[in-house]
Chain A
């Protein structure tokens, strides 16, 4: 990374030797055109949604910009769609899922990075299987399973259904992180009289915070945005998560587009805000598993 600042200069001299100034100008212009096109396509639907959410219902069909900005769509939808309840439900499910995943996965990941224990290989393949089996494949038995445990139509049951796959994924993510921490710290703590648990708790756990943060971010995003399980396992309208509630509201608000857009805005704001604040960790976490050295 340190030498990256040298690169553009080197690149320019290299290219100047072989290509004409016209070619350079053409390439630069092309790059700008592509970038602008991408940004417009990516952002346009979102901008259109924001603009619509601020319109008078009558303006939707015949004008591009609102004549006058109408914030009142937001309070109208906030209560009509019962947002406080649904946001609360989503927050509860996300918090419970993320909490359980971190508590379960962190010690397991640590053990895989540092210890040998009986049945290690079988356990490893069990986690691998749990990570690779997709939610789509277990949706139907999960429904029956939750029903038999009387956890169907319950927020706890929904969180429960997310914890299995989430834990397995987090074990692999965190294990890589623990492997990157120096062994010597644990060794010297052990010489000073710490037992295995104390080494984990006092030495490695505090150092694992960035790894835990990555798991929290990825798992929160996934759980908050999840649709298939949420929409299938929760039946009572008052227990629905934000995603499922917005989906149910589409029919009801299909003629009231300003309300629909305002509702979407309310549903999106928490995720977008957290994404913008933590974007570095977000991008780091999303690319963590995909890079190969």
Chain B
């Protein structure tokens, strides 16, 4: 490796403070989760080692499997709907380069706003049957029901709010990737009379495929960890119809003080995230590499 002039211990000093902080604040707590998952602990007294008892209890709990199923549904929804919307929006921006800057700002606005604000806006200002838009439309024009209070629709309503907030990020990333498509390839395709759709399918899409794949993996990771919007809007209800692994773990830790079981659930959801993370690291080699 010619780019290194010398090997010097003093150079490690540049890294030491950041390393200490990252290890102390992230890696040690992560290790602690691993240990606590095998212990019975209320968070205050001395933890006792119980082997696989937490795992047996959690895995035999139907709520756990319900939550996992909701996470999987969440993943399927997020791998398709926001991806499709973002792809269409980014393709449109490619044809409107002059106004694209303005549209990007609008698309990304909900992503910049905090989850708390977005959740309050939707829950109280849109979905509320009395004072929200939903109530207003119900009284003035035609009756609507609140999708957040029905066990069959609550998950999709919450996912809808999260998609509203998230898709703009994907659109901006896809647009940035599409802009890197080599001009000569596009020109050659057009000169040969390819239609807009053919150009997208044969030139643009292959060029942005690495970025799309990276986003699919990131969305998969987030899907197993999703917390904010669910906790803010429904807190897992009604009747656990929006329970996620993260809200399930949170309730164990901070409502029933079963920290061991909470760690077990956290470990399970990290496991799914971890698989996707390993794929992510492999894929982003060019970016994350020694």
Query: CB within 8 Å of B: which residues of A?
Result: 1, 3-4, 6-8, 10-11, 13-15, 17-19, 27, 31, 34-35, 38-39, 41-43, 45-46, 48-49, 52, 60-61, 64, 100, 103-105, 107-108, 110-112, 114-121, 123-124, 126-130, 132-134, 136-145, 160-161, 163-165, 167-168, 171-172, 176, 183, 196, 200, 221, 224-225, 227-228, 232, 243-244, 246-247, 250, 254-255, 257, 260-261, 264, 267-268, 271-272, 275-276, 279, 282-283, 286-287, 289-293
Contacts and interface: CB of A to CB of B under 8 A. Distances in A.
Contacts of B186: 7, 10-11
Given A126-B22, A140-B249, A291-B180, A116 B1 contact: yes
Contacts of A121: 290
Nearest to B195: A18
A250 B28 CA distance: 35
A107 B269 CA distance: 34
B125 A45 contact: yes
Contacts, number: 331
Contact of A144 (B89, B123, B259): B259
Which of A7, A123, A124, A140 has the largest number of chain B CB atoms within 10 A?
A140
A165 B105 CA distance: 27
Interface in B119-158: 120-126, 130-131, 133, 135-136
B251 to A, nearest CB: 12
B25 A282 contact: no
Contact of A183 (B3, B33, B177, B194): B3
Contacts of A123: 12, 15, 19
Given A137-B30, A196-B11, A132 B121 contact: no
A89 B196 CA distance: 51
Given A45-B126, A115-B4, A138-B30, A227 B18 contact: no
Given A126-B27, A132-B281, A136-B246, A104 B21 contact: yes
Contacts of A163: 21, 25
Interface string B248-290: 0110011000010011001101100110010011001011101
Nearest to A280: B101
Contacts of A128: 281, 288
Residue in A6, A168, A244 with the greatest tally of chain B CB atoms within 10 Å: A168
Given A140-B259, A227-B232, A228-B228, A286 B172 contact: yes
Contacts of B136: 61, 64
A144 B232 contact: no
Contacts of A38: 85, 89, 107
A7 B183 contact: yes
B10 interface: yes
B173 A291 contact: yes
B121 A49 contact: yes
Interface residues of B, number: 115
A134 to B, nearest CB: 5
A164 B25 contact: yes
Contact of A165 (B9, B25, B273): B25
A26 to B, nearest CB: 12
A42 B164 contact: yes
Given A145-B29, A291-B173, A140 B131 contact: no
Contact of B125 (A7, A48, A279): A48
Nearest to A264: B117
Q: State the 6 A-B residue pairs at the shortest beta-carbon distance, nearest first.
A: A164-B25, A14-B190, A111-B14, A225-B114, A108-B18, A141-B32
B71 to A, nearest CB: 12
B116 A34 contact: no
B239 interface: no
Contacts of A272: 109, 112-113
Contacts of A143: 43, 253-254
Contacts of A60: 131
A139 B250 contact: yes
